[in-house]
Amino acid sequence: MEILFEQASPIPHHALAAFAAVIIGAVQLWMRKGGRAHRIMGYLWVTLMAIVALSSFFIHKIRLVGAFSPIHLLSIFTLWSLYMAIRAAKDRRINAHRRWMQNLYVMALLITGAFTFLPRRTMHMVFFGG
């Protein structure tokens, strides 16, 4: 973990928020839906995801278009998805809410997160040395 904390800000905060979102998201997907605990965990997860998405705009390790890369498009998609999921829940469109949240968890955390484990990337170095 030392390698992670040696990285420039906001990379450590971004990674820690993403780790927490992976864990809380998994719990959220398996726990009973609709109750107070679900809402509290949901607000926490949405906050973590917003932190992950927003902090990514200050990470410029991969530069393909100016200071930005395709990952920044995913951050925009993540923020949009959070909005749509919350809106669906408030409108009591539970199936739409569920789909938005499940897709967001898989696409924005699991699939994208897997790319952080490629050789020479920070998370690869944290977990496998480097």
Say how far apart CA 94 and CA 72 lie, in whole Å. Answer: 28
- pLDDT tens digit sequence for 20-36: 999 999 999 999 988 99
Which helix (H) or strand (E) element contains residue 102?
helix 94-104
Cα dihedral angle (116, 123, 15, 39), rounded to 10 degrees? 70
Could you tell me if residue 32 is inside a domain?
A: yes
Instruction: Round to whole Å and give the CA distance between 65 and 105.
Output: 26
* Residue 1 forms part of a structural domain: no
In a domain, 95, yes or no: yes
User: Quick check: is 122 in a domain?
Assistant: yes
Q: Which residues are registered as beta bridge partners of 68?
A: 65
Q: What is the tally of structural domains in the chain?
A: 1
Most confident of 10-14, 82-86, 107-111: 82-86
Q: Within a domain: residue 60?
A: yes
The answer to whether 81 and 108 are in contact (CB under 8 A) is yes
Residues 34-77 pLDDT 10s: 899 999 999 999 999 999 999 988 886 665 565 666 777 889 99
For residues 1 and 120, the answer to whether their CB atoms sit within 8 Å is no
d(CA 52, CA 10): 10
Give CA–CA dist 76/70, Å, rounded: 10
Q: Which residue has the tokens 């809402």?
A: 39
Q: For residue 109, what pLDDT is reported?
A: 86
Q: At what angle do helices 94-104 and 11-30 cross, to 10 degrees?
A: 140
Domain ranges, residue 52: 7-128
Nearest-angstrom CA–CA distance, 124 and 47: 25
